[in-house]
């Protein structure tokens, strides 16, 4: 019988809703490691090289190698369970149980003679003090004991548990062309104004453009057998510089014209100077005479001013970048 009552109490308490709060705390880093993989999709790339007055484009196909840097760290999942009112139930239940228990156990301390001061409507005397105390004791016990047990069980069910597990986080991602192989095909210079130039076939994976061709041809990107060719920032910048220098270095140096320009459009001439200065980075490019003439014109034409910001060739956003059509 006692076990049955206890089971009923525990089941009743088990239905009490609990507040549960879960939070995650990051622990120390256990290790870092690199994970390398290949995407398995070969794409055409081109590298550029300049030997003035020629721009050499070397075509290749390469896979994309992805390198991921990971950090493995410990992660604590902390779950806090609580029952609002459990402490109050223990407190009030404890007081009621104590008083009720005292009345029941100490009932012999009370008189057993009935209350003869009054007769109720059924013709009975009033209850004796012992009977009143016993009744009150049982009532208080029946109210206080379940509250006490419920509160204790709820307090026992509450608390904090911590579960530790491993977690992984990717810190950095890098994708670069890898395992290149020379590729031959038909190159289209596309994306320019007017009718597109005639397609050209590569020889040993190479296409050579002269400065004169670069000056006369209008194009923005390259296609190899119809597929967009990717160029890295460095190669794209070198090709754009070559095309710019092909324009700037084509005309003969005219000091008088430069002197006039230094007077009428000095800022424009300074910009031009920066472009010519970039040509000196191309091996073999005869940029020296023009650069000296511009410097002389600027020195004789007017007082020096702050040099303008050099023009920057177009740079695609992420490697591997390229003039993708």
Partner 1 sequence: MRYLFILWPVAWLTACSGPEAPDAAVCRDVVTRLCQTSACPGVAEQLPPGLDCEATLLERTGCGAEEFTFSSPSRERVLDCREPLIRVGTTTERPPSCEDTRQFLVDCPDVTAFFRGEEP
Q: Which of 4, 40, 108, 120 binds partner 1 (CB under 8 A)?
A: 120
Q: What three-state secondary structure class fits 13? A: helix
Stretch that binds partner 1, among 44-52, 120-128, 270-278, 293-301 (CB under 8 A): 120-128
Angle at alpha carbon of residue 234, lines to 232 and 237, rounded to 5° = 105
Q: Name every residue whose Cβ is closer than 8 Å to that of residue 152 and which is 6 or more positions away in sequence.
A: 90
Instruction: Kindly determine how many residues on this chain lie close enough to bind partner 1 according to the rule CB under 8 A.
Output: 23
How many Å apart are CA 134 and CA 136, to the nearest integer?
5
| DSSP one-letter string for 253-282 | P-HHHHHHHHHH-HHHHHHHHHHHHHHTTS
Looking at the Cβ atoms of 15 and 306, the one nearer to partner 1 is 15
115 binds partner 1 per the rule CB under 8 A:
yes
Q: Which of 17, 28, 40, 118 binds partner 1 (CB under 8 A)?
A: 118
How many Å apart are CA 302 and CA 296, to the nearest integer?
10
114 binds partner 1 per the rule CB under 8 A:
yes
Taking the complex as a whole, the smallest distance from the CB of residue 111 to partner 1 amounts, in Å, to 11
121 binds partner 1 per the rule CB under 8 A:
yes
Subset of residues 56 to 75 that bind partner 1, contact rule: CB under 8 A? none
Q: Which of 132, 217, 253, 291 binds partner 1 (CB under 8 A)?
A: 132
Looking at the Cβ atoms of 117 and 256, the one nearer to partner 1 is 117
Looking at the Cβ atoms of 31 and 121, the one nearer to partner 1 is 121
142 binds partner 1 per the rule CB under 8 A:
yes
Taking the complex as a whole, the smallest distance from the CB of residue 117 to partner 1 amounts, in Å, to 5
Looking at the Cβ atoms of 106 and 159, the one nearer to partner 1 is 106
**Bridge partners of 222?**
189
| DSSP one-letter string for 204-250 | TTEEEEEHHHHHH--EEEEEETTEEPB--HHHHHHHHHHHHHHHHTT
Stretch that binds partner 1, among 23-31, 57-65, 126-134, 236-244 (CB under 8 A): 126-134
How many Å apart are CA 223 and CA 214, to the nearest integer?
16
Looking at the Cβ atoms of 3 and 121, the one nearer to partner 1 is 121
Taking the complex as a whole, the smallest distance from the CB of residue 155 to partner 1 amounts, in Å, to 24
Stretch that binds partner 1, among 31-39, 63-71, 115-123, 156-164 (CB under 8 A): 115-123
User: CA of 100: how far to CAs of 89, 92, 95, 144, 287, in Å?
Assistant: 16, 12, 8, 8, 108
Evaluate whether 26 touches 73 at the Cβ level (below 8 Å). yes
Other beta carbons within 10 angstroms of residue 31's beta carbon come to: 9
Residue showing tokens 């020379």:
182
Looking at the Cβ atoms of 124 and 263, the one nearer to partner 1 is 124
139 binds partner 1 per the rule CB under 8 A:
yes
Q: Which of 71, 143, 253, 275 binds partner 1 (CB under 8 A)?
A: 143
Measuring CA to CA, which residue among 301, 284, 294 is closest to residue 54? 284
92 binds partner 1 per the rule CB under 8 A:
no
Residues at the interface with partner 1 (CB under 8 A) = 114-128, 131-132, 135-136, 138-139, 142-143
């Amino acid at each position: 019988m006692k076990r049955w009552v206890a089971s009923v109490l525990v089941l009743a308490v088990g239905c009490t809703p609990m507040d549960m709060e879960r939070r995650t705390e990051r622990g120390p880093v256990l290790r870092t490691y690199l994970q390398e993989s290949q995407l398995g999709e070969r794409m055409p790339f081109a590298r550029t090289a300049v030997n003035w007055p020629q721009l050499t484009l070397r075509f290749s196909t390469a896979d994309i190698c992805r390198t991921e840097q990971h950090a493995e760290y410990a992660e604590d999942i902390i779950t806090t369970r609580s029952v609002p009112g459990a402490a109050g139930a223990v407190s009030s239940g404890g007081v009621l149980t104590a008083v009720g228990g005292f009345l029941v156990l100490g009932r012999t301390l009370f008189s057993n003679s009935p209350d003869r001061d009054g007769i109720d409507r059924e013709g009975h005397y009033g209850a004796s003090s012992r009977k009143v105390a016993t009744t009150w004791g049982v009532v208080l016990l029946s109210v206080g004991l379940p509250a006490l047990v419920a509160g204790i069980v709820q307090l026992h069910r509450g608390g904090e548990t911590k579960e530790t597990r491993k977690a992984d986080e990717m810190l950095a991602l890098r994708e670069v062309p890898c395992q290149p192989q020379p590729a031959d095909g038909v190159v289209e210079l596309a994306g320019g104004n007017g009718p597109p130039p005639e397609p050209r076939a590569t020889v040993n994976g190479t296409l050579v453009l002269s400065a004169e061709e670069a000056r006369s041809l209008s194009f923005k990107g390259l296609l190899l057998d119809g597929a967009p060719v990717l160029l890295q920032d460095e190669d794209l910048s070198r090709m754009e510089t070559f095309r710019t220098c092909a324009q700037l270095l084509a005309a003969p140096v005219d000091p008088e014209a430069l002197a006039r320009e230094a007077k009428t459009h000095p800022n424009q001439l300074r910009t031009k100077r920066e472009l010519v200065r970039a040509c000196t980075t191309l091996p073999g490019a005869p940029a020296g005479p023009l650069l000296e003439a511009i410097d002389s014109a600027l020195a004789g034409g007017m007082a020096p001013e702050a040099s303008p910001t050099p023009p920057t060739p177009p740079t695609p956003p992420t490697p591997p970048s390229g003039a993708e059509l």
